């Protein structure tokens, strides 16, 4: 039974990130193949018609470069999320993505906001701050690998480049931090060890005073 569960878990670590990335590439392929543009299905802030982008925007990308730049961090971060947070990874990924989208819809400037960059910032923030909170440096290492691959990503939570949805990045980053605190007792945590009482411990009372062992003969006479 345990082997079956371990096999399923190991499979999920690889399949979940691959499935997510496959879906966003599939959407892009449909756009190219059928000469359609899904940009107007992105998040259009403060417009009811643009709220559908909360659900659809992460799957829509402007070009191959945009898509490729999101794919590698997504593969690494989702794999890390599934591995370290097998019990709540689905909630973090799905609810975190939706909440980030809602925040973007509320705070962003009027334009169509598309792409999975907000999800990347969500997962980066969650995994990084979870590692800090838990003092679990494997989690921090995963995030640092993404920083190395994704370069200056941290600066794009600010309006430093025209045409980039810094609001989506900021929303994902803040939501990831919130989820890191919310799920701080979930996932891999440090094991608390308790030592069993030994015969040596029985030689001392609660105040640490030595208790002279009873003579085995006396014990039999009692």
pLDDT score of 88? 92
CA 114 to chain centre: 20
At CA 206, angle to CA 202 and CA 210, rounded to 5? 55
Longest dimension (CA), the chain: 97
**What mean pLDDT is predicted for residues 99-121?**
96
Q: Is 5's pLDDT higher than 80? A: no
Give percent of the chain with pLDDT exceeding 70: 77
* Mean pLDDT (whole number) for 70-97: 92
Distance CA 179, CA 191 (A): 22
Output 5 or 65, whichever has higher pLDDT.
65
Answer yes or no: are the C-beta atoms of 42 and 103 closer than 8 Å.
Answer: no
What residue has token string 């014990």? Answer: 219
Confidence of residue 149 (pLDDT cuts 50, 70, 90): low
Return d(Cα 7, Cα 206) in angstroms, integer: 48
Q: Kindly report the pTM of this predicted structure.
A: 0.79
| Alpha carbon distance 165, 104 (integer Å) | 9
**Cα(222)–Cα(207) distance, rounded to whole angstroms?**
26
Establish if 198 belongs to a structural domain: no
pLDDT at 195: 40
195 located within any domain: no
Q: 58 lies in which domain range?
A: 2-182
Q: What is the reported pLDDT for 19?
A: 96
Looking at residue 164, its pLDDT comes to: 87
> Does 196 reside within a domain?
no
Q: In angstroms, rounded to a whole number, what is the distance separating the alpha carbons of residues 25 and 20?
A: 9
Assigned domain for 212 exists: no
Residue 94's pLDDT band (boundaries 50, 70, 90)? very high
> 89-107 and 64-84 are packed helices; what angle lies between their axes, rounded to 10 degrees?
140
Task: Determine, yes or no, domain membership for 216.
Answer: no
CATH code, domain with 124: 1.20.1540.10
Q: Does residue 66 lie within any of the structural domains?
A: yes
* 203 part of a folded domain: no
- Please state, in angstroms and rounded to a whole number, the distance separating the CA atoms of residues 118 and 176: 10
Residue 201 has pLDDT above 50, yes or no: no
- Domains of the chain: total: 1
Residue 31 domain flag: yes
């Amino acid at each position: 039974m345990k082997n079956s569960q371990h096999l399923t878990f190991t499979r999920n670590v690889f399949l979940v990130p691959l499935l997510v990335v496959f879906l966003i590439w599939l959407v892009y392929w449909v756009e190219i193949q059928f000469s359609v543009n899904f940009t107007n299905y992105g998040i259009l802030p403060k417009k009811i018609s643009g709220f559908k982008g909360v659900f659809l925007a992460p799957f829509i990308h402007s070009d191959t470069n945009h898509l490729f730049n999101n794919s590698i961090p997504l593969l690494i971060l989702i794999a890390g999320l599934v591995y370290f947070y097998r019990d709540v990874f689905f909630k973090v990924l799905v609810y975190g993505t939706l909440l980030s989208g809602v925040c973007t819809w509320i705070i962003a400037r009027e334009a169509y906001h598309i792409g999975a960059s907000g999800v990347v910032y969500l997962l980066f923030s969650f995994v990084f701050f979870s590692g800090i909170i838990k003092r679990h440096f494997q989690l921090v290492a995963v995030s640092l690998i993404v920083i190395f691959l994704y370069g200056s990503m941290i600066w794009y939570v600010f309006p430093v480049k025209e045409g980039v949805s810094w609001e989506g990045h900021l929303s994902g980053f803040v939501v990831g931090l919130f989820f890191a605190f919310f799920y701080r007792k979930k996932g891999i945590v440090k094991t608390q060890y308790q030592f069993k009482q030994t015969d040596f411990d029985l030689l001392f009372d609660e105040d640490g005073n030595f208790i002279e062992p009873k003579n085995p003969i006396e014990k039999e006479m009692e």
